[in-house]
C-alpha cells in the first residue's frame, strides 16, 4: 500500500457514535510535521536528517506541540493540515526534561486548537484515541495499558509515563485524546510492556501535565528551564542487575573522560546506584550542567574512580533556524 494511502480498518478507528464531542474537529488539530536537519548536526547520525511525524495545535497563536526528537536542530519545519494546507514553522524549544518539542507556525493553520486535559486523571483500562495526521482514518481506538516510570538510555527519565495498546505505527508526536476529546499526552516511543498475558507492544506517551511548568517561558521566548541538567553523553542501560555503559556520544563529556563501553557504573558521588533510573537521578542531584560528577566504575574486574565534568546537552546542538 502506498504510504500516503494507508488507513486503519474501520473497526479500529474511533467511533463518533460513542463520543460526546465532534471527533473530526478535534482530529483536525493534529498536523503532519516534516523537519530537515543539516548533515553536520550533532543528532544527524542517530536520528537522521529528514524526520517526519505529527504535531498538535494547542494555541490560537499557532503553538504546536510535538515530540522533541523530530525538531532537534531543524533548519526547516513544515506543517500540513488534514485539509492539505502546508505552512512553514520554526522550532521554539526542545525541553530535555519532558521530551516535548514546541513549534511556532509562521502562518495561520485555519484549524481550531485542542483543549488540554490531564493524564493524572486517567485510569488503567480507560479508552483513549491516538490521533495521527490524516483524520479518523489514521486515528486509533486504544486503551491505557499502564502508567509507570520510564528511564531511557539517552539520559532521559519520566516519573510517570503512559503506555497504550494497540500501537499506532506513526506514534511520533501523535495526540493522545481522552473520552472528552482533550489532549492528555503526546506520542513518543514504541516499546514493550510485560502483562499477565506476556509481552505486549505499546506506545509510550508523555503526559500533557508536564507542559504547564514550561509553557509560559516558551511563550515569552525564554528557555523552558532556568537551569539545565548535567549531561554526560553516556548511553547506559540495566543489564542483569548492573547499570552498564553501552555507548558514548561523539565528543561528549563521557568520551572526553575516557569512559568506555562495557563499564559498569557502581556509584555516583560516593553513593551506590541500583538502576538506570537511580543513576540518572543521582547525577542530576549533584548540581546543574557543568558540575563535576564523581563516578566509581568497574572495568575488566578493576574498580576505578573518575571525575567527569558534565555539560549542557543543548550546547552541542545546532540552534533553531528562524524564517
SS3 146: strand
Distance from the Cα of residue 96 to its chain's centroid: 9
Could you tell me which of 66, 77, 73, 65 has the C-alpha nearest to residue 46?
A: 73
- By the 8 A CB rule, do 64 and 114 touch? no
Torsional class of 18: left (φ above 0), alpha (ψ -120 to 50), beta (otherwise): alpha
Give residue-wise pLDDT tens across range 286-313: 999 999 999 999 999 999 999 999 999 9
- pLDDT tier at 195, thresholds 50, 70, 90: confident
- By the 8 A CB rule, do 22 and 147 touch? no
- Domain 1-226 sits in CATH at 2.40.10.120
- The pLDDT value recorded for residue 298 is 98
Percentage of the chain lying above the pLDDT 90 cut: 92
Give residue-wise pLDDT tens across range 136-166: 999 999 999 999 999 999 999 999 999 999 9
Q: Quick one: fold of 234-316? A: Pdz3 Domain (2.30.42)
Whether the per-residue pLDDT at 1 is higher than 80: the answer is no
The pLDDT of 76-81, averaged and rounded, is 98
- pLDDT tier at 5, thresholds 50, 70, 90: confident
Task: Look at the pTM and tell me if it is higher than 0.85.
Answer: yes
- The pLDDT value recorded for residue 197 is 85
Give residue-wise pLDDT tens across range 203-236: 999 999 999 999 999 988 888 999 999 999 999 9
The pLDDT of 20-28, averaged and rounded, is 96
- The pLDDT value recorded for residue 322 is 46
CATH topology of 1-226 equal to that of 234-316? no
In the chain, domain spans: 1-226, 234-316
Contacts of residue 53, Cβ cutoff 8 Å, sequence gap at least 6: 32, 33, 66, 67, 70, 170, 172, 173, 174
- The pLDDT value recorded for residue 4 is 61
- By the 8 A CB rule, do 135 and 82 touch? yes
- The pLDDT value recorded for residue 220 is 87
Percentage of the chain lying above the pLDDT 70 cut: 98
d(CA 60, CA 308): 45
- The pLDDT value recorded for residue 323 is 42
The pLDDT of 244-266, averaged and rounded, is 96
- By the 8 A CB rule, do 214 and 227 touch? no
Contacts of residue 216, Cβ cutoff 8 Å, sequence gap at least 6: none
Amino acid at each position: 500500500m502506498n504510504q500516503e494511502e494507508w488507513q486503519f480498518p474501520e473497526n479500529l478507528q474511533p467511533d463518533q457514535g460513542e463520543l460526546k464531542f465532534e471527533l473530526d474537529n478535534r482530529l483536525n488539530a493534529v498536523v503532519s510535521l516534516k523537519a530537515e536537519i543539516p548533515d553536520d548536526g550533532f543528532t544527524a547520525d542517530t536520528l537522521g536528517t529528514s524526520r517526519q511525524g505529527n504535531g498538535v495545535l494547542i494555541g490560537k497563536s499557532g503553538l504546536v506541540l510535538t515530540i522533541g526528537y523530530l525538531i532537534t536542530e531543524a533548519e526547516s519545519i513544515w506543517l500540513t493540515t488534514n485539509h492539505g494546507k502546508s505552512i512553514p514553522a520554526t522550532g521554539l524549544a526542545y525541553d530535555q526534561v519532558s521530551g516535548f518539542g514546541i513549534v511556532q507556525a509562521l502562518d495561520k493553520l485555519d484549524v481550531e486548537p485542542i483543549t488540554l486535559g490531564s493524564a493524572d486523571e486517567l485510569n488503567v483500562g480507560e479508552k483513549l484515541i491516538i490521533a495521527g495526521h490524516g483524520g479518523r482514518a489514521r486515528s486509533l481506538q486504544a486503551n491505557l495499558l499502564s502508567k509507570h516510570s520510564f528511564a531511557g538510555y539517552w539520559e532521559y527519565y519520566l516519573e510517570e509515563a503512559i503506555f497504550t495498546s494497540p500501537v499506532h505505527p506513526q506514534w511520533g508526536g501523535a495526540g493522545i485524546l481522552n473520552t472528552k476529546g482533550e489532549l492528555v499526552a503526546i506520542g513518543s516511543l514504541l516499546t514493550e510492556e510485560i502483562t499477565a498475558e506476556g509481552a505486549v507492544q505499546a506506545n509510550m506517551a508523555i503526559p500533557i501535565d508536564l507542559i504547564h511548568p514550561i509553557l509560559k517561558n516558551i511563550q515569552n521566548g525564554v528557555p523552558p528551564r532556568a537551569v539545565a541538567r548535567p549531561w554526560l553523553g553516556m548511553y547506559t542501560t540495566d543489564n542483569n542487575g548492573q547499570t552498564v555503559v553501552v555507548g558514548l556520544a561523539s565528543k561528549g563529556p563521557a568520551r572526553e573522560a575516557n569512559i568506555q563501553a562495557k563499564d559498569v557504573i557502581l556509584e555516583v558521588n560516593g553513593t551506590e546506584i541500583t538502576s538506570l533510573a537511580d543513576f540518572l537521578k543521582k547525577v542530576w542531584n549533584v548540581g546543574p550542567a557543568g558540575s563535576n560528577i564523581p563516578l566509581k566504575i568497574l572495568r575488566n574486574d578493576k574498580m576505578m574512580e573518575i571525575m567527569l565534568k558534565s555539560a549542557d546537552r543543548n550546547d552541542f546542538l545546532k540552534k533553531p533556524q528562524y524564517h
